[in-house]
């Protein structure tokens, strides 16, 4: 995600979040949006919720429209970019990291950040 507090150094996720909310803020006030996010990691072939670390070994399913989702993953409703960034920081703090030959704080997992806008 780059550097969250420096727009020129932000990664793709913060840029997309700001863009999504920018479009929402320009829409008709009478329209209602529901934005929910989830954040999990795949580590040693297991899916673990980064927003509730007690949820481990989760599984991937498809809904009726064949859209994949992680069953049991925490979903947080958010209403601003700052709320999203707070959740990202919370999840990052729960990731598996360890020293590697490339980086002393390298992640040992793959993380997935999902955002749904309805």
- Residues 58-90: tens digit of each pLDDT: 999 999 999 888 999 999 999 999 999 999 999
Residues 11-64 have pLDDT tens digits of: 889 999 999 999 999 998 899 999 999 999 998 889 999 999 999 999 999 999
**Residue predicted with more confidence, 14 or 100:** 14
In whole angstroms, what is the distance from residue 83 CA to residue 76 CA? Answer: 10
The reported pLDDT for the residue numbered 81 is 93
The reported pLDDT for the residue numbered 8 is 79
Query: How many CB atoms within 10 Å of residue 9?
Result: 11
> With a threshold of 0.75, does the pTM exceed it?
yes
List the structure tokens of 52: 């509730």
Spatial CB neighbours of 4, under 8 Å, sequence gap ≥ 6: 10, 14, 85, 88, 89
Band the pLDDT of 100: cuts 50, 70, 90: low
The answer to whether 39 touches 111, Cβ cutoff 8 Å, is: yes
The reported pLDDT for the residue numbered 35 is 96
The reported pLDDT for the residue numbered 105 is 52
The reported pLDDT for the residue numbered 67 is 86
């Amino acid at each position: 995600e780059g550097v969250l507090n420096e727009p020129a150094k932000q990664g793709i996720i913060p840029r997309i979040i700001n863009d999504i909310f920018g479009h929402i803020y320009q829409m008709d006030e009478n329209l209602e949006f529901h934005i929910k996010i989830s954040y999990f990691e795949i580590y040693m072939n297991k899916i673990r919720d980064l927003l509730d670390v007690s949820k481990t070994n989760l599984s991937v399913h498809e809904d009726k429209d064949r859209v994949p989702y992680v069953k049991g993953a925490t979903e947080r409703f958010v209403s601003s970019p700052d709320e999203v960034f707070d959740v990202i920081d919370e999840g990052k703090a729960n990731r598996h990291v360890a020293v590697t030959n490339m980086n002393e704080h390298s992640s040992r997992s793959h993380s997935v950040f999902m955002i749904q806008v309805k």
